[in-house]
Structure 1
Amino acid sequence: MRHITVPALHCPFEAKISPFVHEIDRHTASWLQEFNLLQTDEAYDRFRRYKFAWMTARTYPDADLAFLCTANDLNTWLFVLDDLLDHVTPDTAGYREKGYLQQVITDFVRVLRYDQSVDRSVNPVLAALSDFWNNMRPLSSVSWQCQFTLSLKATFEAAVWEAENAKLRRHPSVFQYMQMRPFFSGANLGTDMLEVAAGTYLPVFVLQNEQFQKLVDLARRAVCWANDLFSLSKELAHGDEHNLVVVIGHEQQITLEEAIAQTAAIHNQEIAMFNQLRTQLPSFGLPIDSAIQRHVDALGTMVRGFMDWSIYDTARYHFDYTAS
């Protein structure tokens, strides 16, 4: 595996972690076994070393235990699917076929839209999604559930785009990649879950405000660019070229080290944009403005939480980090 050194990343947000982290970890370890989502004991051990509970506890540190267990189930489920799609073998090549993925999207949306229950003996992946949804619905509003369903659909539609690129050996432009990455990474789902975790329940006219949406997008993008740096050696080892470093390097015909530096610079520039834009939001009146401030603070904590998990907790990625 190629040795990667990640430059210092600007992330001036509060670092926090939930006191429930060990309870979350035990819960999801049992949940994975209950739905038989991994195939070998070695795979279960590997997922425990990835410490997804620490990621969830850092990104939603003030949420209650019921939400955190449910959110960590979702995060872990998404990583299980990510590994299936990224680590393709001759036996699993069909997972990247467009027709297969489109049927997957239909099945996932049906579970969420119709609150469908699925027996784990029939389809463990769908059954696990159904269990997540059964636990999530009492914690959330109907309008949030509608939005989350659309977000899940967007995530897997973007996964179809990624899979088609890989199959055809088609290189996306930097612009295309930066538009699509927050969706096939599931970062859109992370910010959707934040609304429930933070308990802010902002009005639709705030959620649809252009400046507020830009803040949310910048937070998603910051997570993605940091992840592209932290996961680079892993993805190079698997021949996965859907990484901003690789895309920049291919488009500009520059060295890997130069592309790493550019990716870090983009991350830092967009964090600066986030901090500037948060001071320029319009006022909607004191009660709503207070909720917006809590939500924006939570976005910053989420960005910092993912970074700290990647640097200090998980064994999923291998890199050296140059602290500022």
Structure 2
Amino acid sequence: MTEPFVRPMFYMPFASGGVHPHCDMAREHTKVWARTMGLFDPEYEELSDGAWSEARCIAADIPKFAAMTTPDVAPAELELGADWHTATWFFDDVFLPGCLKSGDRADTRARLDRLLAFMPVRPQMPPLLPNNALERCLTDLWARSAWRMSEDWRRRITGAWRTYFAGSLWEVDNLQRERHPDYIDYFQMRRDFGAAGIAAALLEMACGTEIRQDVYDSQPFQALFQAYRDLADLNNDVVSYAKDEASGETANNAVNALQRQLGCSLQQAADLTNDLMTSRVHTLQTAADEDLPALLHERGTSRHEQQQIARYIRALQTWLAGSYDWHETTARYGAPAAGLHLPTGLGTSAARCLQNLHLSGARR
């Protein structure tokens, strides 16, 4: 897959935790789990026009994504996270092409509403019986996840899925109508059809640290959270541009939206997207290091809770660094970026630090 522009060097000051030592076992677990759920049934490869298959899923190495974004969690949490991410990617690769083929918006909405019913905030009796692979996945994942978490958390993650589904409908509409949104419209909706909000809720569970609802709703936390979502989504847009171009889906890519808005070259749009990402890193840092601690102190939050919140924020930052690294290595988006290739592995963090010092000085 040929890169249509020289991929910019991303500013990422947060330390990656490397790869979870349980990664190989998570790969085997998730492969067996996906087969058991029926995710690799031949009908789904046909429905996705070849975008989804067992071979492609294994090549993408979704368990490694989980292992790089949550390198310190318990092995069982890693396996659970890898399963959740695999189901999410299945939705993205199989559901959207299916919608484009059917063209029946009412049926699409009904199917989405039914999927949400497999993630009830409160137990429902009798339980809904699954009819397809994705419904089987959600039945299993919800049973393994939801009932050890609070009702507030369950509302948050179901809300994140509802937002993701609504954003996906908007994404499908763009493709069906050949509509190219302006950049502001795109940027507002990109958070919705990205799955970073789901991943953030899953991270609370994996870390064993729930964010209290009043803290979650506060302005500093939301500033941090939205910056995290933007970084995850915009990084994906830059790295996946060649894949989106090959599949005719650049209408739903920030680089394309910015190029059309400004009338600039594709390279300039990619570089400007990277500048925006750098700015969002600084927003996240300020909220995490200054604004949120000041609010917690003002509210008299206990020392223990402050430490738990700080632990979760560090996990979000590690998640971002791991996501950036995974995007550079996965077969899902083709060849690694051209240009500077930093060494990876034990003892190479200094190289990343030097790169980030250069970028920080250049872009601040």
TM-score normalised to structure 2 length: 0.82
Match of 1:72 in 2: 82
Percent of residue pairs identical = 23
Q: Which moved more, 1:167-176 or 1:93-102?
A: 93-102
* 1:291 equivalent in alignment to 2:298: no
Contact 1:96 1:160 survives alignment (8 Å): no
Match of 2:8 in 1: 7
Counterpart mapping for 1:89-104 below 5 A: 93-94=100-101, 97-104=104-111
Aligned residues: 318
Distance 1:109 1:76, change over 3 A: same
Match of 1:211 in 2: 220
Letter in 2 for 1:105: L
Describe the superposition over 1:179-227 as per-residue Cα deviations: whole angstroms up to 9, x where unpaired.
1112211111011111112222222221111111110110111011111
Q: Which moved more, 1:28-37 or 1:142-151?
A: 142-151
Match of 1:258 in 2: 268
Contact 2:164 2:193 survives alignment (8 Å): yes
Runs of 5+ unmatched residues, structure 2 = 341-354, 356-364
> Deviation of residue 237 (structure 1)?
0.5
Letter in 1 for 2:333: Y
* 1:300 equivalent in alignment to 2:317: yes
> Deviation of residue 32 (structure 1)?
1.3
Letter in 2 for 1:151: A
Match of 1:194 in 2: 203
Q: Provide the C-alpha distance between the structure 1 equivalents of 2:75 and 2:63, rounded to a whole number of angstroms.
A: 11
Contact 2:7 2:239 survives alignment (8 Å): yes
> Deviation of residue 139 (structure 1)?
4.0
Q: Provide the C-alpha distance between the structure 2 equivalents of 1:254 and 1:93, rounded to a whole number of angstroms.
A: 30
Q: Provide the C-alpha distance between the structure 2 equivalents of 1:126 and 1:85, rounded to a whole number of angstroms.
A: 12
Letter in 2 for 1:75: H
Q: Which moved more, 1:277-286 or 1:152-161?
A: 277-286
Distance 1:117 1:7, change over 3 A: same
SS state at 2:201 partner: helix
Q: Provide the C-alpha distance between the structure 2 equivalents of 1:95 and 1:62, rounded to a whole number of angstroms.
A: 42
Match of 1:311 in 2: 328
Describe the superposition over 1:122-153 as per-residue Cα deviations: whole angstroms up to 9, x where unpaired.
32221111111111124422321122111111
Structure having greater relative contact order (Cα 8 Å, sep ≥ 6): 1
Runs of 5+ unmatched residues, structure 1 = none
Contact 2:68 2:322 survives alignment (8 Å): yes
Letter in 2 for 1:108: L
Letter in 1 for 2:129: V
Q: Provide the C-alpha distance between the structure 2 equivalents of 1:251 and 1:58, rounded to a whole number of angstroms.
A: 35
Q: 2:158 aligns with which of 149, 152, 172?
A: 149
Q: Provide the C-alpha distance between the structure 2 equivalents of 1:304 and 1:124, rounded to a whole number of angstroms.
A: 31
Q: 1:59 aligns with which of 69, 72, 91?
A: 69
Q: Provide the C-alpha distance between the structure 2 equivalents of 1:79 and 1:8, rounded to a whole number of angstroms.
A: 26
Q: Provide the C-alpha distance between the structure 2 equivalents of 1:95 and 1:74, rounded to a whole number of angstroms.
A: 26
Contact 2:100 2:172 survives alignment (8 Å): no
Q: Provide the C-alpha distance between the structure 1 equivalents of 2:304 and 2:212, rounded to a whole number of angstroms.
A: 11
Q: Provide the C-alpha distance between the structure 2 equivalents of 1:35 and 1:202, rounded to a whole number of angstroms.
A: 31
* 1:162 equivalent in alignment to 2:171: yes
Distance 1:145 1:171, change over 3 A: same
Letter in 1 for 2:318: T
Distance 1:322 1:291, change over 3 A: farther
Q: Provide the C-alpha distance between the structure 2 equivalents of 1:322 and 1:12, rounded to a whole number of angstroms.
A: 19
Describe the superposition over 1:265-315 as per-residue Cα deviations: whole angstroms up to 9, x where unpaired.
111111122112222222234222212211111111011111111113x11
